Structure 1
Amino acid sequence: MDTQKSAILKALLREFGYTHRSLATEVNRVSGRFFGRPGAATDRDVRRWVSGAVRWPTGRYLLPLAEIFDRPPEAMGFVPRGRSSRLPVPPPRDADREEEPVKRRTFLLDVASTAATVALALGLDETPVSGRLTLADVQRISGVIGRLQAHFNAIGGGALLEVATAYIHRLRDAVDGCTYGPNVEKALHSAISDLYSSAGWAAHDGGYGELARLHHAAALQSAILAGDKRGQARAWSNLAMQARVEGRHREALQINRAALDSRQARQDPRIAALLHSRLAIGHARSGDSPAAARSVLAAEAAYDRFDTAAPPPPWLRFLDAAEISGLSAIAHRAMGRLPDAEIATAQALQLLPSNMHRNRAYYGVQLAELQIAQGELTRGTATVAAIDTSALSSRRIGDRLATIHHTLTA
């Protein structure tokens, strides 16, 4: 691990209150629960993980670490070594040795099962990592990435982070192991940029902010290598969003303005609508309500210029009238205009397609929060009861929903 990545594991130890010795003890205990006998990790092993001397621990320790810190290996700063760097599935255990079910572990295993199903359905292993790549190969790769993005819109990012990360490694193997011409090289880097952006959103949806930022930065780098202006605009937009989520509002505004000044934003009303919507939220959270209102109007004006006859790229299919309403609701809420935010959120829910389960749950949670904030507890309770999270894998949405339940019961 480099200095930045090794710092992640150090920070996790501090956040969870572990010393090197106590973490080794906990890893051995969890390893015993997973594999039937305790592990043999020592404080020396932990020091080697923290220092980066061991870039990818053995699966016997990696799976317990993922359980303890509730995040995938890359989000702990570990660096995969290749095809062998897959998070293992623990072997089955006798029923009489099963402990009390732990909600977090159950969630992790459900995510792993969903991820395996999606990976199999997408045929990720069919992408060649040797031989000669053609434009037809890259088109198939782009199709896989587009379908992965469609899965995100349907179920959320929590189950797809592992899938996206594994596919990133496979495409990196293809970059190093295949031969191709300059046009294929650019197309391949453009596809990798799209995949990094999708992985960044999956990490964001799973609550892994540091990993999300790294993926969005990698998306920008790949888009630059490809000379892909659309990919660059997408990456800048995501970096602005991530900065805003982390409370760096001025930086988010600067990034957003720079992205809006790009030729791609001026030529593509879909990208312009997305950027203006996010700029509105940035202005609102910075306390500039007039600028936020102007950006909301600019987003709506850009939406009116959409060419509905031309299909959008897969990553922008989510940006429809429902999403424009939902994003404007976030801006209204940040400006303190709760009734306007509630109306816009309700409109988003009415306009959302039935297959957008993730966004429907997201805006359902947002509507309940707005109703509760206005003292309408009965309506908020009814809204929460209507939210369907049965097929959803989104830690961010789950955490917000848990907070609502706590508020209502309190």
Structure 2
Amino acid sequence: MDATRNEALVAWMGEHGYSSNSLADAVNTALEQLTGRVGGLDGSSVRDWKAGRVSWPKSATRRALETVSGLPVTALGFLPRGRAVSAPAAQQEDPDMKRRTLVAGIAAAAAAPGLTGTRRIGMSDIGRLQERFAEVIASDHRHGGQLGIEQRAAQLADEALNLQAAGSATQRVRSSLYGCAAAFRSSAMWAAIDGRRYGDAKAHMREAQALAEMSGDHEIKFRIWSHAGAMYRHMGRPTEAFAANDVARGLHITRRDPMFASLGLARQAAIHGVAQDRTGTRRALDQAQDALQRMDPDADRPVWLLAFYDQAELNSLALSAYLALGDYPAAEFHAHRCLSTLRSHMIRSQAITTTRLAHAQLAQGDFEAATSTAMRVPADAATQHARVSRMLQEFGAALRARAPRSSTVQDWTEHTRDAWRTTT
């Protein structure tokens, strides 16, 4: 007789995000905890379960499966072949019908938690949270630094944590929930940094770090510590910035994926700029460029990294570094390179880069070009984005100090009065 596919197991694996290999690894770990010996299962073992070629695993394996899933193995579609069941009526029941009924019962329980008192949290819930996270990322790149983005991200972090108490879940799903909560908190942290609300950013950072530890997700750990380095850099505290960024760069993910290594090095270069270390800046930028060129463009990476880090962002960080060093020709060069390749959705980054370009031009005495560049910054960014607004105020003060009788001062004054009036 042909084996009958174990649809209950297949459905459970799909709901909880397990591949054949990852489920084998999880069961092997549970076997080691139960028996003291490492399990010898692999992806082919699980494929045999799914295909029905093995309908009743060994007893230790069954216990390990129950540990991983939180369900009896019969609820995962496993049935002993040729063994009479205790209930007389069930002896006459068609095995395929019994399995279909079992699968339907699991689905009904998930769909109607009020009837059972317990909801099963699965990877579909994680998927919905990840969609919301992508929306937060997109909003950040459009607007940046807004209090509303920070508050929304913090609210979503709380929603992810509330799911922990909403029902039962596997350890894999619980870790993913903590990872989602940490990701939302890191976005709240970045929005606060971008809005120069550093006290709030530190509070978000502490929560994000704790959640990331519970998730075990090195990618989100990197994001949080890298953000911490950027926060201290913006605060003009390079010692703390180096310390935080070194934690990010020391994570295993930077050795496994050159893209993470490149971002860590590019941000290190920007910190070297604040510390007035020209040699360190150039060395870190060269290493960041080399790592970026070595990365696999098709590797699987988190949405937050893919959404912003590329050659344009590397040039943006080089611009920041050279501007801090007072090397204005190099800063202007990297500003132009950044703007020429910046992706269209990076609206916030375009405003920041354009403002920094204006500063680099002004410092070289090119007053007309600098003023023309500063006027290209959109009015909403100029008035509503804390970092851009402050940099433009500093630009105006520097312009008036360096060219007090120039017509460009009058042009800038009229521009800020007329173009910004409707948005303030």
Does 2:319 match 1:314?
no
Q: Match of 1:394?
A: 385
Matches within 5 A, 1:208-287: 208-287=197-276
Deviation at 1:371, TM superposition (A): 1.1
- Among all aligned residue pairs of Structure 1 and Structure 2, give the percentage whose two residues are the same amino acid: 28
Q: Match of 1:4?
A: none
Q: Match of 1:351?
A: 341
1:164-189 Cα shifts (integer Å, max 9, x gaps): 12222322322333332211110000
Does 2:353 match 1:363?
yes
3-state DSSP of counterpart to 2:133: helix
Give the Cα–Cα distance (whole angstroms) in 2 for the partners of residues 312 and 382 of structure 1: 39
Residue identity matched to 2:335: T
Give the Cα–Cα distance (whole angstroms) in 2 for the partners of residues 288 and 295 of structure 1: 11
TM-score (norm 2): 0.63
Residue identity matched to 2:272: H
Does 2:330 match 1:329?
no
Q: CA contact under 8 A between 2:273 and 2:321: conserved in structure 1?
A: yes
- Of the two structures, which has the highest relative contact order with CA contacts closer than 8 Å and spacing of 6 or more? 1
Deviation at 1:391, TM superposition (A): 6.8
Deviation at 1:406, TM superposition (A): 4.1
1:297-318 Cα shifts (integer Å, max 9, x gaps): 0110111022223464211120
Does 2:124 match 1:133?
no
Give the Cα–Cα distance (whole angstroms) in 1 for the partners of residues 165 and 373 of structure 2: 51
2:329 to 339, 342, 355: 339
Give the Cα–Cα distance (whole angstroms) in 2 for the partners of residues 391 and 403 of structure 1: 15
Q: 1:389 to 1:355 in 2, by over 3 A?
A: farther
Q: Match of 2:85?
A: none
Residue identity matched to 2:158: H
1:272-301 Cα shifts (integer Å, max 9, x gaps): 111101111222222322122110101101
1:120-168 Cα shifts (integer Å, max 9, x gaps): xxxxxxxxxx833111111210121022101111221314122112222
1:385 to 375, 390, 403: 375
Does 2:178 match 1:184?
no
Q: CA contact under 8 A between 1:150 and 1:314: conserved in structure 2?
A: no
> Which structure would you say has the larger Rg?
2
Q: CA contact under 8 A between 1:256 and 1:279: conserved in structure 2?
A: yes
Q: Which moved more, 1:171-180 or 1:186-195?
A: 171-180
Give the Cα–Cα distance (whole angstroms) in 1 for the partners of residues 399 and 325 of structure 2: 24
Give the Cα–Cα distance (whole angstroms) in 2 for the partners of residues 160 and 258 of structure 1: 26
Deviation at 1:222, TM superposition (A): 1.0
Q: CA contact under 8 A between 1:220 and 1:231: conserved in structure 2?
A: no
Q: CA contact under 8 A between 1:371 and 1:379: conserved in structure 2?
A: yes
Q: Which moved more, 1:221-230 or 1:387-396?
A: 387-396
Q: CA contact under 8 A between 2:266 and 2:317: conserved in structure 1?
A: yes
Matches within 5 A, 1:108-127: none
Deviation at 1:401, TM superposition (A): 2.0
2:138 to 135, 145, 150: 150
Residue identity matched to 1:137: D
Q: CA contact under 8 A between 1:194 and 1:231: conserved in structure 2?
A: yes
Q: Match of 1:404?
A: 395
1:202-226 Cα shifts (integer Å, max 9, x gaps): 1112221111122123222111101
Deviation at 1:246, TM superposition (A): 2.1
TM-score (norm 1): 0.65
Give the Cα–Cα distance (whole angstroms) in 1 for the partners of residues 164 and 326 of structure 2: 49
Residue identity matched to 2:270: I
1:56-103 Cα shifts (integer Å, max 9, x gaps): xxxxxxxxxxxxxxxxxxxxxxxxxxxxxxxxxxxxxxxxxxxxxxxx
Q: 1:166 to 1:345 in 2, by over 3 A?
A: same
Residue identity matched to 1:186: S
2:191 to 179, 202, 205: 202
Give the Cα–Cα distance (whole angstroms) in 2 for the partners of residues 294 and 185 of structure 1: 41
CA RMSD of aligned residues (A): 1.9
